[in-house]
């Protein structure tokens, strides 16, 4: 079984400041990791994913995340945020052995990023 913890429910930040949204996971099997973003009144959109290879993955809109197996973390970062980044961000995991077979996603509780001018 897997679980995901997003340590911060809300992160307020000023425009052009850097931001890090934290995600830790627990799993007895190897996992694939995802970050989804939900803009107000919209669905979930994939921001980036880690399947294998380089532990630093780059996604859309200038976001990146680093997979740290020893710390079981997959923190999301952006060096300079914009007002338009205001949204809810969800970290999710899937058992890697299930990914080819339509495996479910286990989500964290979400982090609300609020970018202020």
Partner 1 sequence: EPEVTQTPSHQVTQMGQEVILRCVPISNHLYFYWYRQILGQKVEFLVSFYNNEISEKSEIFDDQFSVERPDGSNFTLKIRSTKLEDSAMYFCASSRVNTEAFFGQGTRLTVV
Which residues contribute to the site for partner 1 (CB under 8 A)?
34, 36, 42-46, 49, 90, 92, 99-110
What is the C-alpha to C-alpha distance for residues 102 and 94, in angstroms, rounded to an integer?
10
User: Is 57 in a helix, a strand, or coil?
Assistant: strand
User: Is 1 in a helix, a strand, or coil?
Assistant: coil
CB of 3 to partner 1, least distance (A): 10
| Phi, psi torsion values for 105, nearest 5 degrees | -100, 140
CB of 22 to partner 1, least distance (A): 15
Assess contact for 84 and 67: CB atoms under 8 A.
Answer: no
CB of 37 to partner 1, least distance (A): 11
CB of 6 or CB of 73, closer to partner 1 = 6
Assess contact for 3 and 108: CB atoms under 8 A.
Answer: no
CB of 43 or CB of 117, closer to partner 1 = 43
CB of 65 to partner 1, least distance (A): 14
User: Is 47 in a helix, a strand, or coil?
Assistant: strand
CB of 30 or CB of 109, closer to partner 1 = 109
CB of 11 or CB of 108, closer to partner 1 = 108
């Amino acid at each position: 079984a897997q679980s995901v913890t997003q340590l911060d429910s809300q992160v307020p930040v000023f425009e052009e400041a850097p931001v890090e949204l934290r995600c830790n996971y627990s799993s007895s099997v190897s996992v694939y990791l995802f970050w989804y973003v939900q803009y107000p009144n919209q669905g979930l959109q994939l921001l980036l994913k880690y399947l294998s290879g380089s532990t630093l993955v780059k996604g859309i809109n200038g976001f990146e995340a680093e997979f740290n197996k020893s710390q079981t973390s997959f923190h999301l970062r952006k060096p300079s945020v914009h007002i338009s980044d205001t949204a809810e961000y969800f970290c999710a995991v899937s058992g890697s052995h299930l990914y080819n077979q339509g495996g479910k996603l286990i989500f964290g509780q979400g982090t609300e990023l609020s970018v202020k001018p």
